[in-house]
Amino acid sequence: MKNKKVLFTAKWISYTAVMTALVTATGFIPKLPTFAGNVYWVDGMVLIAAYLTDPLASFIAGGIGSLLYDVFASPQMMVPSLIIHGLQGFAVSFLLNCITKKFENHEWVTALVCSLAGAVIVVGGYFIYRCITLGAPVAFTNIPRNVLQEIIGITVAMAVCYGTALKRRLKKSNLLPYRGK
């Protein structure tokens, strides 16, 4: 981390709370029916949180945000979602912080590569969870849906943060709690 003093400031707490609420809220957006099953929008918001905040805030937003959604939608998925989406947010943000320093002019490329690492965590995490609880045959049938969900999530997050001026404007206005300096 650049500066450990940015943790637990009012700006950091506010961003973390807003990102957590947005992750929870995107879970309630109607699912996208596809050939592979229903696709949820949570992954895109977890990635947006990872692009805009530090690893700890990203873990909280991804993990707690998806846990709060699962409290209402599917309580049996609360703990797996907390762990899997929390790790997704943490890993993407952590890797982005490490790599972006070297390739600052091409941050969107590093964000894409880091997002693919997060996608491996989600697909692998849910595969392992389903192998343990439902068996390998069921776990294998869910892989295409999870891969499609990650592709859509990465596309949405990249479009919001790097296809628009959102992140540049937040950074220019010093409104990012972590990388805005």
For 64-85, what is each residue's pLDDT tens digit? Answer: 999 999 999 999 999 999 999 9
- Banded pLDDT at 176 (limits 50, 70, 90): confident
In this prediction, residue 75 carries a pLDDT of 93
Question: Is residue 178 one of the residues assigned to a domain?
Answer: no
Residue 61 belongs to some domain of the structure: yes
Residue 146 lies in a domain: yes
The CATH number of the domain holding residue 157 is 1.10.1760.20
Does residue 180 form part of some domain?
Answer: no
How many domains are there within the chain?
A: 1
Domain limits for position 65:
4-172
Please determine, for residue 27, whether its predicted confidence score (pLDDT) is greater than 50. Answer: yes
pTM: 0.89
Do the beta carbons of residue 65 and residue 42 sit within 8 Å? Answer: yes
For residues 88 and 122, the answer to whether their CB atoms sit within 8 Å is yes
So what's the pLDDT on residue 11?
Answer: 85
Q: Does residue 81 form part of some domain?
A: yes
pLDDT for residue 174 is more than 90: no
Cα-Cα-Cα-Cα dihedral sign, residues 60, 167, 24, 76 = negative
Domain assignment present for residue 177? The answer is no
152 in helix, strand or coil?
Answer: helix
Mean of pLDDT values over 155-171: 88
> Does 157 fall in a domain?
yes
Question: Is residue 1 scored above 50 in pLDDT?
Answer: no
Q: What is the mean pLDDT of residues 145-152?
A: 93
Whether 181 is in a domain gets the answer no
What percent of the chain is modeled with pLDDT above 90? 65
CA dihedral 175→67→117→33, nearest 10 degrees, is -100
Residue 113, phi then psi, degrees to nearest 5:
-65, -45
